[in-house]
Amino acid sequence: MLFLAAKGTRGEIMADLYLITGPAGVGKSTISKMLAGSLEKSVLIEGDDIYHLVVGGYVSPWKDGNHLPLFWQNCEGLIENGLKSGYDVVFNYIISKKDLQRLCKHFKNFSIKFVALIADEKTIVERDKLRPEDCQMGERVLVLLKSTLAQNFDEKFILDTSKQSKEQTLKTILSNNRFLV
């Protein structure tokens, strides 16, 4: 799971941006909800919800002909609207190194904190089985774990949640400046 946080100013507005990513089953949604709930004034943007706004012509994000360009335009607009309105923004989705670079450039007026949340294979598979049956990814969780690790993010941004409680993970993210980009 990858996490990115930003703090910055535009005029007198101060807001933080938290971008969280990682493989399915690692806890992106759970940690994002907890994080947003711990902030005084926040917006939670679930990337999957934004991606699924497209109905006619829907193509899975890992397939050719997907609508990722529209997705990222929508996400960047929502993030910017939240930040400009003075809200901390928590965003989660599977973010590549290229996506991260683009987001850092787009939100360069904000300090950025980035965390890639991961877990060992056994933990990811177990967590996937706890999801509602229609949301389980099966073997795809392992493909996504390998894909996240293959991004070769700087080690300081990696947070292994295998042996951490949700509360410990949240505390680590909030209190640790090692994740600042």
Q: Any idea what the CATH number is for the domain that residue 45 is in?
A: 3.40.50.300
77-101 average pLDDT score: 93
pLDDT at 1 over 90: no
Q: pLDDT tier at 13 (50, 70, 90 boundaries)?
A: low
How far is the C-alpha of 28 from the C-alpha of 52, rounded, in Å? 17
Q: How far is CA 26 from CA 40, 49, 138, 149, in A?
A: 25, 18, 13, 13
Range of the domain at 157: 2-179
8 A C-beta contact, residue 36 and residue 42: yes
What was the pLDDT predicted at 10?
42
Q: How far is CA 88 from CA 20, 21, 31, 40, in A?
A: 13, 17, 15, 8
pLDDT at 2 over 80: no
Helix (H) or strand (E) holding 43: strand 42-46
Say how many residues make up the chain: 181
For residue 70, give both structure tokens. 């529209």
8 A C-beta contact, residue 76 and residue 119: no
What was the pLDDT predicted at 134?
85
Structural domains of the chain, count = 1
